[in-house]
Amino acid sequence: MFLILGLPIYTTSLSVALQIGFGSFIPFMQPLKELIILMALGISLWELDKKIHFQAIDYAILLFFAVNLIYVLLPIGNYSFANKLIAFKSSSFFTIIYFSGRLFDPKKLYLSKYYHYILAVFICAAAILLFEIISDQHFQNLTGYADYNFYYFNQEATGNFGLSWTFETSTGLKRFSSFFANPLEFAAATLLTLAIIAGLYTNDNNEVKIDKFGILAILATQFSIFFALSRSSLASYFIMIFIYALITKKQILLKIIYALIILAVTYFIFFMLIWTPDLYEFIVETITFTNPSSIGHVIAWIEGIEAIFRNPLGLGLGNSGRVSGSLGDSVGGENQYIIIGVQTGLITLLTYLWIHIYFIRTCWKWYPRLKGKEKKICLSLLLMKIGFIIPLFTSELESSVYISYLSWFLSGLFIHIISKHSINHKEINFI
């Protein structure tokens, strides 16, 4: 319940607390999410009554955690021990979340109820978005977002709306984020919600039986993905629908997707230029990589890749990502893969890539073999892992607590499920 209801409003809660004079509570509120995960993991370990049959993915995640921990302890890099711990948490805490799900018994999980809660949260987010559009102002202007970022992350307000540049496009269009931390996290939450919808309303025979609540949730995702104006998430949204049609063998849906692609291209060429020239220019600049944001990403990626090849063992924790970004000295820009490679080298980068490939391949393999809520978790996780590929190239997605915590907890649950099936069928070393 905390993951679902608390994490989407995490940053908003902290900024409101500072705004209304409860700043002294923030140091206690900030680590609450990590403490709850550690408590959940501790309880699971305490109640563990069976031997854990480790799989290849478990060892890979433990390797990632161990290497990053070594970089905390060794005098590598230019940052203090405290800053390295912050960077370590940002890049590696997902491993703890994974094992908290890995040791959790899926039989104790009333999946349908919690899936419905996730949809309810996002419908509320879409309602806040509607308020933002009608009032033509960002919700963050009311919650003290800029002050919170300044006092705790040394980030001064930038952009034309007193927040940061991520809340607008280069052509001046506003990008909204509802009660999420920023438009990128809001857009990624749209992808997560779409994956949950697919898992919730697809039965064992790949038939879709959706109610009015589900239809409202779908409309909320469609409404939100366009006003978040995240190009990577928008592309991923349609890729996820295409993958869903492939894995569930929805031939009619595939034909509709192909027809919509044709219609979209036609609309883009003949109508958008006349009706919405700013949006037309934004899309053209994105496709041609002449958008200032796109150019900035590419330059930062090249810089990061060069740093990785010059230092294949990494520059040290904190030299890329959130810590160095707050000090204006980041190498590699907003790219989760490059951030990992710059900090701790090729070993962790290749391990992280392998982990994602493993989940996609394994979910695809096991989907036809599972039933009930196990099948629902598998489908949701498959769509998430595929949907997050592109946003991982354009953001430090692991620092988006709602996205990271929920997706990795489900990842652990999924491995628990297939580990049980593998033991029953003597398939311990599946890949």
Residues 217-247: tens digit of each pLDDT: 999 998 898 888 777 888 898 899 889 988 9
Q: How far, in whole angstroms, is CA 291 from its chain's centroid?
A: 24
| Contact partners, residue 2, CB within 8 Å, separation at least 6 | 33, 36
Quote the CA–CA distance of 162 and 146 in Å, as a whole number.
7
pTM over 0.85: yes
Radius of gyration of the chain from Cα atoms?
Answer: 21
Any idea what DSSP says for residue 174? B
pLDDT at 231: 79
264-280 as b/e: b if 16+ CB within 10 A: eeeeeeeebeeeeeebb
Q: Could you tell me if residue 311 is inside a domain?
A: yes
pLDDT at 273: 55
pLDDT at 427: 47
Low-confidence winner among 256-260, 307-311, 404-408 (lowest mean pLDDT): 256-260
- pLDDT at residue 278 above 90? no
- pLDDT at residue 406 above 50? yes
Q: Could you tell me if residue 263 is inside a domain?
A: no
The mean pLDDT of 293-303, rounded to a whole number, is 74
The mean pLDDT of 414-431, rounded to a whole number, is 67
Q: Is the dihedral of CA 24, 26, 29, 30 positive or negative?
A: negative
Q: How far, in whole angstroms, is CA 186 from its chain's centroid?
A: 9
Q: Could you tell me if residue 404 is inside a domain?
A: yes
Domain encompassing residue 41: 2-45+60-249+289-424
Q: Could you tell me if residue 258 is inside a domain?
A: no
Q: Could you tell me if residue 52 is inside a domain?
A: no
Q: Could you tell me if residue 354 is inside a domain?
A: yes
- pLDDT at residue 189 above 80? yes
Angle between helices 81-102 and 401-424 (to 10 degrees): 40
CB atoms within 10 A of CB 154: 11
Q: Could you tell me if residue 256 is inside a domain?
A: no
Rounded mean pLDDT of the chain?
A: 85
The mean pLDDT of 180-200, rounded to a whole number, is 93
Supply 342's token pair: 């710059």
Percentage of the chain beyond pLDDT 70 is 85
79-102 as b/e: b if 16+ CB within 10 A: beeebbebbbbbbbbbbbbbbbbb
Place 303 in a pLDDT band, splitting at 50, 70 and 90: confident
pLDDT at 362: 95
- pLDDT at residue 191 above 90? yes
Which residue, 215, 394, 228, is CA-closest to 295?
Answer: 394
- pLDDT at residue 113 above 60? yes
Quote the CA–CA distance of 392 and 353 in Å, as a whole number.
11
Percent of residues in the chain assigned helix, strand, coil, to nearest 5: 75, 0, 25
Q: How many domains does the chain have?
A: 1
The mean pLDDT of 353-363, rounded to a whole number, is 96
Q: Could you tell me if residue 41 is inside a domain?
A: yes
- pLDDT at residue 286 above 70? no
Low-confidence winner among 65-74, 81-90, 100-109, 282-291 (lowest mean pLDDT): 282-291
The mean pLDDT of 165-181, rounded to a whole number, is 84
- pLDDT at residue 131 above 90? yes
Quote the CA–CA distance of 114 and 47 in Å, as a whole number.
23
Identify the top-confidence range among 87-101, 220-234, 293-307.
87-101
Place 428 in a pLDDT band, splitting at 50, 70 and 90: very low
